[in-house]
Structure 1
């Protein structure tokens, strides 16, 4: 079928609510609890902890499981998929490839010459693409570690984080006080118009501006 172009219309810019949200913090900082406040979430809980905590959750054991859950979620009334965690999903995909080719690492898997890495990256991107094309909201939960120089640092490999970041509308940090802070966001939303839990996020820039205004600066 040939795609049809509609007639020109005057542009009316919008600020759509976030569809993909990346959330990072140290273990036990409250990432799962935070994402659990989203609209009808279904957890892809690779460690099983979300299910133990009482959330609607499944524990995939391979790539096909992950894809099947995403494809079924809307049919069963879910509005949000929570990837808990992205690192765990990456490990699952890597392990599946290593077992498939009886290899010790991705470098030698699938005949070597980087074919194992290529297969892994394709599988990872396929899942993220599937989520982005769906009508589901997505929370990508990411582990972080505390450093002296840089504060909280995301553990996920930079290349994989770039893929997640490319399909996310916001990046949120959760510290060990369970405080959620905006780190990056696609639009300057009015937080009151956003759905939970995004309607109660600390915005450091706005907080600083308000404090300066209070001091008359």
Structure 2
């Protein structure tokens, strides 16, 4: 039963710490290596690379069943893992497409509408099960930079946009130097509040705002000093 309370007199907004995170970047930028420092990660490796590196996980690049992926999520939690990693969302989408087309493509199906509907439905079910698992959830995404300097995902725009609506923030790994930085996040936290695996992620937007605020404060102090000297 839904209960409606009276309007709050004093609303205290909260900024929950990020728990569902997208880690994006170009190929070979170091996305998997960065996520390897998250608390006890288990990789659902749809490209097979994480397992080849010796990380805990399952190699799903040759064959997968979307139902089996959903069924294994509670087992990952009960085994003691703290982080579940989808690596990568592009390869997850490719795996779903191969499964529903028996190794082909949706474009070759006689009823492509049904194919796309199944792909979108299976993708959403997997993502929602990962998000509600109470584990830290990481979605690795391969991206490229276009001629205008805009970052574009290798995944279908529709699926990528839907996923971004269910995350707390996106960390972009800069290929030169493998430096992680926040591209976007829902809340604002003090650096000391963040867990160790996120504490060293740069935040260009916040850092820019802090520099601007400091510069304005220095300007205000200087103007006040000049006014005081005249008096």
TM-score w.r.t. the length of structure 2 is 0.82
Report the CA distance shift for 1:11/1:73 in structure 2 as closer, same or farther (over 3 A).
Answer: farther
Q: Please say which of residues 181-190 and 56-65 is displaced more in the overlay.
A: 56-65
Identify the residue that residue 165 of structure 2 maps to in structure 1: 166
2:77 matches 1:78: no
2:63 matches 1:64: no
Determine the C-alpha separation between the residues in 2 that align with 1:78 and 1:162: 28
Instruction: Decide whether the 8 Å contact of 2:106 with 2:112 is kept in 1.
Output: no
2:45 matches 1:42: no
Instruction: Decide whether the 8 Å contact of 1:23 with 1:172 is kept in 2.
Output: yes
2:119 matches 1:116: no
Count of residues in correspondence between the two structures: 211
**Can you give the 5+ residue segments of structure 2 that lack an aligned partner in the other structure?**
220-231
Cα RMSD (Å) of the superposition?
A: 2.4
Determine the C-alpha separation between the residues in 2 that align with 1:209 and 1:108: 50
Determine the C-alpha separation between the residues in 2 that align with 1:4 and 1:158: 36
**Can you give the 5+ residue segments of structure 1 that lack an aligned partner in the other structure?**
none
2:89 matches 1:89: no
Report the CA distance shift for 1:114/1:151 in structure 2 as closer, same or farther (over 3 A).
Answer: closer
Identify the residue that residue 205 of structure 1 maps to in structure 2: 205
Determine the C-alpha separation between the residues in 2 that align with 1:170 and 1:151: 18
TM-score w.r.t. the length of structure 1 is 0.87
Give the greater-gyration-radius structure (CA).
Answer: 2
Aligned-partner SS, 2:73: helix
Q: Tell me by how many angstroms 1:129 deviates.
A: 1.2
